[in-house]
Structure 1
Amino acid sequence: MTVDDRFTRGLRDAGDEEPTGVRNEIVTGPVSDWATDFSHMEPEWTNDPYPIIEDLRGRCPVAHTDRFGGGWLPTRYDDVASVAYDTERFSSRAIIMSNFRPPRDIAPIGGSPPISSDPPFHHHARKLLLPAFTKTAVARREEATRAYCHALIDALEGREEVDIARDYAQHIPVRVISDMLGFPPEDGPRFRRFIENALEGVNRMPEERMAGMNELFDYLLVQINDHVANPRDDLTTYLIEAEIFGQKLEPSHVAGTMALLLIAGIDTTWSAIGASLWHLAKTPADRERLVAEPQLLPTAMEEFLRAYAPVTMARLVKEDMQWNGVQMNADDWVLLSFPAANRDPSQFERPDEVVIDREVNRHVAFGLGIHRCVGSHLARMELRVALEVWMERIPRFSLVDPATVTWSTGQVRGPRSLPVRIG
């Protein structure tokens, strides 16, 4: 079998694999009680989850739902951390809470290593990626990222109103990840469609979701075959040639990691950039202070990450057990709400306030435990550069109408529409 055949067969198998478990279950609809029937897919949660989280933390710190086939939502920092660090009782084989589970035998590798991998395989899968995401490697991408941010703003010349989310924030991680993987940057609209299917379409019928996944894997197959025929210095060629235990990576491993970088690497940073600009657009005192004190931006950026942490991850319970006073069953979901942990008053003073000069800020926006975001240096660079360039070029901007701001649904939360007035 040639390398090309190996990837063709491997990717077809990966894209056609049917999920097992709970299926065809409607997971959205009005919530009767957030403590016993929570759903992170509802408009109230999408628009502003923090009052709901605060209420739950006070009266029911570990909420439950029968939706999604059964799941749990810890809201205290210590409980979130406890699950994140506990790889003996919680599996990462699926990290998107939806209406079906992947089969147990997909562990320890999972569909998108290393984020879907359990120990001991996780260590080896993560180690492969570390060289591409060191501070030194990321620093080499800063100049191009800055130039691209300037080009995006150049394209807005003469406009009095712009949508920062659609016209600016979303494009930056698309370009950075495209360059890293060696994908055509003009394919950005396709990437956004893949993201929406994977992260926001969890209430669709499995057949629809699988069709979307097959479209993603078809795309990856084209890119992999092109890299097999024309190797170059990028992350895709690196993964194709990489080895674990003296063996080339399985095609499903290569494709799953590429899918992870494409989806998670774009949506999380897009959301963080958008949420930070949303805060500055609606908070003129903070915006004006950062314009006057640009050296404060790195500190302010960490506060935006704390207050508007975009990412919530899921785990699956391995076996029936009692955990912190609740009865968890095998294959129950557990949502790790890093946004909830970041607003726990036991960890942060004035947790619901955005304090842009907050000095002590041990936030967990990038997660906890072995799955802490491997791309955190890259995300921080993109966020910092995006804010620096925007504030330098457009120091005065405000929301056109707060009611027109829309947010993404699901486990990655950020503005999807963010109209602002310039000047």
Structure 2
Amino acid sequence: MTVDDRFGQDYREALEERPLGIRNEIITGPVSDWATDFSHAEPEWAADPYPIQDDLRQRCPIARTERFGGAWLPTRYEDVAAIAYDTERFSSRAIIVSNVRPPLELAPVGSVPPISSDPPFHHHARRLLLPAFTKTAVARREAETRAFCHSLIDALEGQEVVDAARDYAQHIPMRVIADMLGFPPEDGPQFREFVENALEGVNAPPEVRIPRMEKLFDYLLTQIRDHVDHPRDDLTTYLVNVELHGRKLEQSHVAGTMALLLIAGIDTTWSAIGASLWHLAKTPADRERLVAEPELLPTAMEELLRAYAPVTMARLVKEDMHWGGVDMKAEDWVLLSFPAANRDPAQFDRAADVVIDREVNRHAAFGLGIHRCVGSHLARMELRVALEVWLERFPVFGLSDSAPVTWATGQVRGPRTLPIRVG
């Protein structure tokens, strides 16, 4: 069977079906009341969502909006956890809230398996990825990641102010994921474009969003073809050849999983590294302590993940029901705000404070339930190494007043620009 047989016409037909289910709802615009009209795509949410979440947790623990065609936002840890674990009543076939609801026919696989997959398919799709993300497999990438971090800082030599997001944080997961998938490292700028289109362009009309997604999948198709013609020891070749229930994966499964790794694997870690550097730049006491006590970094890192968890996932309500005191309708979105859950004072002592020596810290930064991040070991390694190298090379640094810090909008929140004075 040729590459075009497996990844050609069928792939195109699958892609052309993606517009089904589109509802061109308006998402952005001034919020009248966060309890009844919330929008996580607004700049004030991106800049500082925590006061909004705290207010909602007190007066309206499950907020509602008519935007996006109808959505809910639980803010208590217990509600977020309950929905994350409830695969009977909530579907994962769409995990990014937008003006597009994928068709029901996509379940149980979804467009980016396994994170978009429902049971029982999810279990098998996730298990295929586990070998690439074990602690042992991740440890083999540490030395190369550390050397790359040093090279990034070498390139900043002589600058008094650097953009720690654009010049440092974003490049680390882009290089790691490119190496894992066997993609050209020089394609990094394209990866950034794919990430921003997928996660921040959620209010673009379908005629804009669809060509953007086609561009991503065209890129993935090119990489798949190259790997079929020239197999090598990487994750793409593995996905092309691996079997599930005695059959090779469908082309849409291969491309969807690659899209997941490329987008989620980059933006979540990029955001976590950037948010951690932002905190240390504005909190001299924590920075100084970590420089003096580097052995504290693994504990501090978990606290930074709790306090600045980058990821909010979504579910779709399967059937009309009364849940948690509200009436949810079939096909309503539910935003699972792991950042809000992580700051629930009913779950964490001093929840609003960043306590870098916090000992008990069962945070939800990597999600909860069956979709807990399969790449958590990899993300932790990248974050730890990035911070170790930065603190070694720049033991003294702080926020610069040369330009504002800007934050990504949407469901993955992290600094997009982060001016830091290092000289």
State the TM bucket, normalised to the shorter chain. Answer: over 0.9
Displacement of 1:23: 2.0
1:19 aligns with 2:39: no
Displacement of 1:8: 1.8
Displacement of 1:379: 0.1
Question: In 2, distance between residues paired with 1:270 and 1:308?
Answer: 12
For 1:216, the equivalent position in structure 2 comes to: 216
| 1:244-255 paired onto structure 2 within 5 Å | 244-255=244-255
Amino acid across the alignment from 1:190: Q
Which region of structure 1 is more displaced relative to structure 2, 311-320 or 13-22? Answer: 13-22
For 1:133, the equivalent position in structure 2 comes to: 133
Question: In 1, distance between residues paired with 2:294 and 2:17?
Answer: 50
| 1:21-60 paired onto structure 2 within 5 Å | 21-60=21-60
Question: In 1, distance between residues paired with 2:144 and 2:11?
Answer: 32
Which region of structure 1 is more displaced relative to structure 2, 66-75 or 402-411? Answer: 402-411
Amino acid across the alignment from 2:4: D
Show CA shifts across 1:198-223 (max 9, x none): 10001000111100000001101110
Question: In 1, distance between residues paired with 2:274 and 2:375?
Answer: 18
For 1:364, the equivalent position in structure 2 comes to: 364
For 1:110, the equivalent position in structure 2 comes to: 110
Q: How many residue pairs align between the two structures?
A: 423
Question: In 2, distance between residues paired with 1:21 and 1:221?
Answer: 24
Amino acid across the alignment from 1:279: H
Amino acid across the alignment from 1:122: H
Which region of structure 1 is more displaced relative to structure 2, 377-386 or 1-10? Answer: 1-10
Amino acid across the alignment from 1:365: A
Amino acid across the alignment from 1:332: D
Question: In 1, distance between residues paired with 2:8 and 2:293?
Answer: 53
For 2:151, the equivalent position in structure 1 comes to: 151
Question: In 2, distance between residues paired with 1:10 and 1:385?
Answer: 42
CA contact (8 A) 2:161 2:421 kept: yes
Displacement of 1:355: 0.5
Residue 416 of structure 1 aligns to a residue whose secondary structure is strand
For 1:201, the equivalent position in structure 2 comes to: 201
Amino acid across the alignment from 1:127: R
Question: In 2, distance between residues paired with 1:323 and 1:22?
Answer: 26
Residue 327 of structure 1 aligns to a residue whose secondary structure is strand
For 2:317, the equivalent position in structure 1 comes to: 317
1:276 aligns with 2:276: yes
Amino acid across the alignment from 2:330: A
For 1:81, the equivalent position in structure 2 comes to: 81
Displacement of 1:22: 4.8
Which region of structure 1 is more displaced relative to structure 2, 397-406 or 278-287? Answer: 397-406
For 2:399, the equivalent position in structure 1 comes to: 399
Show CA shifts across 1:86-134 (max 9, x none): 0000000000001120000100000000000000000000000000000
1:336 aligns with 2:328: no
CA contact (8 A) 1:142 1:385 kept: yes
Q: Normalising to structure 2: TM-score of the pair? A: 0.99
Question: In 2, distance between residues paired with 1:107 and 1:323?
Answer: 22
Amino acid across the alignment from 1:416: R
Residue 34 of structure 2 aligns to a residue whose secondary structure is coil
Structure 2 alignment gaps of length 5 or more = none
Q: Give identity over the alignment, percent.
A: 79
Show CA shifts across 1:376-398 (max 9, x none): 00000000000000000111111
Question: In 1, distance between residues paired with 2:164 and 2:331?
Answer: 40
Amino acid across the alignment from 1:171: H
Displacement of 1:2: 1.9
Question: In 1, distance between residues paired with 2:240 and 2:10?
Answer: 13
Residue 8 of structure 2 aligns to a residue whose secondary structure is helix
For 1:228, the equivalent position in structure 2 comes to: 228
Question: In 1, distance between residues paired with 2:393 and 2:179?
Answer: 25
Show CA shifts across 1:152-187 (max 9, x none): 000001111100000000000000000000000100
CA contact (8 A) 1:95 1:314 kept: yes
CA contact (8 A) 1:11 1:255 kept: no
1:379 aligns with 2:376: no
Residue 35 of structure 1 aligns to a residue whose secondary structure is helix
CA contact (8 A) 2:22 2:102 kept: no
Residue 115 of structure 2 aligns to a residue whose secondary structure is coil
Question: In 2, distance between residues paired with 1:9 and 1:197?
Answer: 25
Residue 336 of structure 2 aligns to a residue whose secondary structure is strand
CA contact (8 A) 1:10 1:250 kept: no
For 2:167, the equivalent position in structure 1 comes to: 167
CA contact (8 A) 2:403 2:419 kept: no
For 2:240, the equivalent position in structure 1 comes to: 240
Amino acid across the alignment from 2:63: A
For 2:256, the equivalent position in structure 1 comes to: 256
RMSD: 1.0
Question: In 2, distance between residues paired with 1:347 and 1:172?
Answer: 32
CA contact (8 A) 2:180 2:235 kept: yes
Residue 19 of structure 1 aligns to a residue whose secondary structure is coil
Q: Normalising to structure 1: TM-score of the pair? A: 0.99
Structure 1 alignment gaps of length 5 or more = none
Displacement of 1:299: 0.4
CA contact (8 A) 1:314 1:334 kept: yes
Question: In 2, distance between residues paired with 1:100 and 1:350?
Answer: 38
Residue 314 of structure 2 aligns to a residue whose secondary structure is strand
Which region of structure 1 is more displaced relative to structure 2, 141-150 or 394-403? Answer: 394-403
CA contact (8 A) 2:20 2:102 kept: yes
Question: In 2, distance between residues paired with 1:99 and 1:37?
Answer: 16
CA contact (8 A) 2:319 2:331 kept: yes
Show CA shifts across 1:301-359 (max 9, x none): 00000000000000000000000110000000000000000000011011110000001
For 2:297, the equivalent position in structure 1 comes to: 297
CA contact (8 A) 1:12 1:217 kept: no
Question: In 2, distance between residues paired with 1:348 and 1:323?
Answer: 24
Residue 313 of structure 1 aligns to a residue whose secondary structure is strand
Question: In 1, distance between residues paired with 2:23 and 2:117?
Answer: 23
Displacement of 1:402: 8.7
Amino acid across the alignment from 1:25: E
Which region of structure 1 is more displaced relative to structure 2, 402-411 or 349-358? Answer: 402-411
Displacement of 1:12: 1.9
Displacement of 1:21: 3.2
Question: In 2, distance between residues paired with 1:170 and 1:63?
Answer: 32
Residue 31 of structure 1 aligns to a residue whose secondary structure is coil
Residue 117 of structure 1 aligns to a residue whose secondary structure is coil
For 2:413, the equivalent position in structure 1 comes to: 413
